[in-house]
Amino acid sequence: MHDHRQHMHSRSNFLAGASAVATMLLPGTRTFAQTAPAAPRRFIDIHHHFYPPELVAVMNAWQAKHNLPGVPGLFTGLTAEKSLAEMDASGIATAVLSIASPHGVWFDADPKTIPELARACNEYAAKRIRDYPGRFGLLAAMPLPNIEASLKEVAYALDTLHADGIGIATSFGDRWPGQPEFEPFWAELNRRKAIVVFHPYAPNCCGSLQPLQPGIAESLIEYPYDTGRAFVSLLFSGTLLKYPDVRYTFCHGGGALPYLAGRIVNLANGTVKDVESVAPGGIEAMLKRMYYDTANATFPATMAALLREIPVSQIMFGTDYPYITGKQNIGPLDAYGLPAADFAAIARGNAMRMFPRLRGTV
């Protein structure tokens, strides 16, 4: 327990420090908004987080349960105005809102309350969309792994709130999205031809309560690994083949997937029976059908791997704000030297094609 507290305390100290720096240096303060001119709006950000009060309360309860510091102000004070100031300073026309993956399964909240919590998150984001027309979209939170409640939330989010898509975690404690109990969920999303964006978290084996070693946050390597786990789960369960009209989207450049694509292909062909039955055109062809965002993944080596493996048409810009700013993502992307048409497609064109609400916002 001491090592765990040390790990989480160091992470909380880092986040608290980041919050203080953000207040002084990042867009979002009144002084900055008054003095800094807006950058040209070239981007649509499909990976922009928000933290409604109901979610912060559950986060704080989870922290207290484990004798950890409370949630830092970087999250509790993340208002629409701060998001808009950051967007304007970075040249982001529209940001698609989503919650970051909760620790464990919704911070170990009472299962009976999780559907209410997901609904509160979605209502909060929907109000922001109404209050600031054209500036925000929504990937609706789901009370997974509760399938029945999630099917109800799919209907409410898409039909009543007019959410742009669905946001889910790559895993839920010790469950991955290709496992049999998720099949009704994918069947419904396939019927709706829905966009689903997988935001990573670490499973029970490797998350906050069982870190690699004290002081090593799971976000360093476990997140990109769990993106790979989610894809492999969906692939070899036959989910991707059976439900091809879902537009599966993986954050952070697909995590480890572009780098490991060849390894997955080679080893699967030698160890997995009936690869053709789940990927008739081959595993790499299935990877190329998926969609990806560039949040915290615009580094030269990461972009080189992603663009070598994935068509430009499948890649959309994302930031991972407030963890990473727009400028931290945009600077390396600007410097990468993409052809103008490819840059425009990644920056905004592909998102406008995928999300009808966003057409004409740039």
Predicted TM-score (pTM) of the model is: 0.86
Which tokens belong to 97? 């809102």
Return the CATH number at 311. 3.20.20.140
How many domains does one find in the chain?
1
Q: What percent of the chain has pLDDT over 70?
A: 84
Provide the pLDDT for residue 24.
31
13-27, 160-174, 214-228: least confidently modelled range: 13-27
Confidence of residue 40 (pLDDT cuts 50, 70, 90): confident
Between CA 261 and CA 243 the distance in angstroms is: 21
Provide the pLDDT for residue 182.
97
Residue ranges of E strands in 57-202? 92-98, 136-141, 165-169, 195-199
Between CA 78 and CA 325 the distance in angstroms is: 13
Closest C-alpha among 251, 218, 230 to residue 104: 218
Range of the domain at 162: 2-358
Backbone phi, then psi, for 209, in 5-degree steps?
-85, -10
Q: 246 CB contacts (<8 Å, ≥6 apart)?
A: 186, 189, 190, 193, 194, 196
**Cα dist. 132→95, 124, 210 in Å?**
11, 13, 41
Contact 277, 238 (CB under 8 A): yes
Closest C-alpha among 334, 353, 262 to residue 294: 334
Angle at 197 between CA 261 and CA 276, to 5 degrees: 40
